[in-house]
Amino acid sequence: MRPIHYILSALLVVAELLVMVRALLRSHRDPAARLAWVMVIIFAPVVGVIAYLLFGEARVSMGRRQRGIDIDQALPRPPGDKAAKKRLVSGRHDAPFALSRTINGLDPTSGNAATLAADSNVAIDQMCADADAATGTVHASFYIWLDDTNGLKVKDAFVRAARRGVKVRVLADALGSHRLIRSSHWRDLEDAGVEARVALPVGSLLWTMIRGRVDLRNHRKSMIVDNRIAWVGSQNAADPEFRIKPHYAPWVDIMTRWEGPVARQCQFLFVSDWMSEHGEDLSALLTGPAPAAPGTIVAQVVGTGPTLRFDAMPTLFDETIHSARHELVLTTPYFVPDEQLLFALTAAARRGVRTVLVLPKKIDSFIVAATCRSYFGDLIDAGVELYRYRCGLLHAKTMVVDGTIGLIGSANLDRRSFELNFENNILFADEAFAKVIRKRQDSYIADSDRVTAEQVAAFTIGERLWANFMAMLSPLL
């Protein structure tokens, strides 16, 4: 061998050892993920080192991370209230709310009212009506914003609001909404006076990959009107036909409209995101008299992302599942659990809680489709009722526990929502509204096929190998 070959080999070994040590020392990483990455680095040194540097960590550029920390420390927190705490402490589901308090520093609020939109198209129409009725501000954040019928309805409503003097600010994710951002419709927003910003801009692909991960995305979906009305759920600004992926249509979403103090907590997340994208300081919107309390629901906003100091979203899911005593019903489009979430679900079923999980039959990711099938046997063996929705891609992310508390928002039960995406959810306590969400969940179950132990046993060896192989790789994704 030539001397240059020895030098290159030595450099590769040093790089491999350094990256391996980094993988072992990384915080917030479960042992399975560490082992998976170490094995990849050992057996595929060049590919493994490059892959880990690009995708092995939820890396955010140092400038954005520090800016996020500074903004979070400086922003005032909309207040909670003693009535909400007293009501929660008197029940058996206080733990998830107590945990949520540690995520964003937001206390539970009481006196909120919520309604559930009949379907995706109705939700968009009602959101546009709220924008048309706005007198002060309209703030919106979308992961996917398309130039289809519903997407343009939203755009036109924002243009109308801005032209009559309402301060309209919108955030659209750079990747999820790239088609609209690059179109004339984005310029229409700007020409009308809408302050439109791109969330997590990509810019130069190479530079973005060097300073952080390209696939760290703002997955939040919300709209806040006049600091007193908030829309939260799984709905993107798009038609249910979702024409960029028509094979999986319709996409079946859930969207909720909130009034009361929790709307200002939704505003807190938007303000934080807005200022992180170099928008002006909007902290004044978080102070002053609280919005009117028109209802009886206790609610608390939960915003998570890769900049948090612990794995907030999976921990919240686990804590909420552990609080179940009688019934637990969940819907999610993407099911790629970590070990703790899988154990929480199976333990709930084994201790006698009716545990129901509803997934779509068609999923727009062959990796997720295979991975989630690998867990079917464990779930069914534990007593989980597993259903697959057959009438489109069930995109609604919901959880209802004991007909008393619920969690609704943008986060999926997968590692991307747990580690990579910025997500927004509302945790609530109210039997009446929980009943409304449960009724919608029952409609999903009615349009689903139950997965049986016999069906899982009939999986071919090839199907099982593929599913388990994909599950084994899931910690790397």
Q: Is 270 a domain residue?
A: yes
Q: Are residues 455 and 336 in the same domain?
A: yes
Answer whether residue 299 is part of any domain: no
One domain for residues 142 and 18: no
205 Ramachandran zone, left/alpha/beta (phi>0; psi -120 to 50)? alpha
Mean pLDDT of 240-246: 90
Mean pLDDT of 464-476: 81
Mean pLDDT for the stretch of residues 462-470: 88
- The single-letter code of the amino acid at 110 is S
* Among 45-54, 162-171, 346-355, the least confident range: 45-54
pLDDT category of residue 204 using cuts at 50, 70 and 90: low
259 closest CA partner among 287, 291, 301: 291
Average the pLDDT over 181-203 and give the result: 94
pLDDT at 458 > cutoff 80:
yes
Give yes or no: residues 341 and 283 share one domain: no
Highest mean pLDDT among 64-68, 96-100, 205-209: 96-100
Distance CA 158, CA 134 (A): 10
Q: What is the mean pLDDT of the segment spanning 22-48?
A: 72
- Overall average pLDDT of the 416-442 stretch: 95
Given 244, 262, 291, the domain boundary residue is 291
Asked if residue 92 is part of any domain, the answer here is no
SS3 of residue 369 by DSSP: helix
Task: Report yes or no: 391 and 82 within 8 Å, Cβ to Cβ.
Answer: no
Residue 28: predicted pLDDT: 59
More confident: 397 or 26: 397
What is the rounded CA–CA span in Å between residue 473 and residue 33? 9
How many structural domains are present in the chain? 3
| Residue whose C-alpha is closest to residue 186's, from 151, 219, 225 | 151
- 42 and 147 fall within a common domain: no
Domain's final residue, options 291, 323, 339 = 291
In this prediction, residues 368-382 reach a mean pLDDT of 95
Distance CA 413, CA 314 (A): 8
Amino acid at 91: G
pLDDT in tens, 91-108: 888 999 999 999 999 999
Nearest CA to 320 out of 83, 94, 106, 88 is that of 94
Residue-wise over 198-214: b if at least 16 C-beta within 10 A, else e? bbbeeeeeeebbeebbe
Task: Choose the final residue of a domain: 15, 40, 55.
Answer: 55
Question: How does pLDDT run across 301-335, given as a tens digit for each residue?
Answer: 999 988 877 789 999 999 999 999 999 999 999 99
Both tokens assigned to 386 = 């597993």
Range of the domain at 255: 117-291
Average pLDDT over residues 60-76: 80
Q: Does residue 14 surpass a pLDDT of 80? A: no
Whether 96 is covered by a domain: the verdict is: no
Q: Residue 222 has which token pair? A: 């919300």
> pLDDT band at residue 154, thresholds of 50, 70 and 90?
very high
pLDDT of residue 30: 67
| pLDDT greater at residue 49 or residue 272 | 272
Q: Is residue 81 part of a domain?
A: no
**73, part of any domain:** no
Looking at the structure, do residues 267 and 319 belong to the same domain, yes or no? Answer: no
Q: What percent of the chain has pLDDT over 70?
A: 91
Res. 109: pLDDT tops 70: yes
Judge whether 159 and 249 are in contact, CB under 8 Å.
Answer: no
Is the separation of the CB atoms in 171 and 273 below 8 Å?
A: yes
* Centroid of chain to Cα 385: 24
Give 117's pLDDT tier (boundaries 50, 70, 90).
very high
Does a structural domain hold residue 97?
no
User: Which pLDDT belongs to residue 219?
Assistant: 96
Pair 418, 281 in one domain: no
Q: What is the pLDDT of residue 438?
A: 98
- Residues 224, 281: one domain? yes
Residues 403 and 443 in one domain: yes
Model confidence pLDDT, tens digit, residues 262-293: 999 999 999 999 999 999 999 999 998 878 88
Judged against a pLDDT cut of 90, whether residue 228 lies above it is answered with yes
Please report which confidence band the pLDDT of residue 6 belongs to, taking 50, 70 and 90 as the band edges: low
pLDDT of residue 308: 76
Please determine, for residue 213, whether its predicted confidence score (pLDDT) is greater than 70. Answer: no
287, 322: one domain: no
The pLDDT value recorded for residue 257 is 98
Same domain as 283, residue 151: yes
List, in sequence order, every residue forming a beta bridge with 299; answer none if it has no partner. Answer: 109, 428
Q: Do 324 and 286 share a structural domain?
A: no
Among 30-39, 333-342, 411-420, name the one with the lowest average pLDDT. 30-39
Residue type present at position 327: E
Mean pLDDT of the chain: 90
Residue that is written with structure tokens 């040590």 in the block: 21
CATH at 402: 3.30.870.10
250 prior amide bond cis, ω within 30: yes
Query: Could you tell me if 264 and 194 lie in one domain?
Result: yes
Residue 340 within any structural domain of the chain: yes
Does the global pTM surpass 0.85? yes
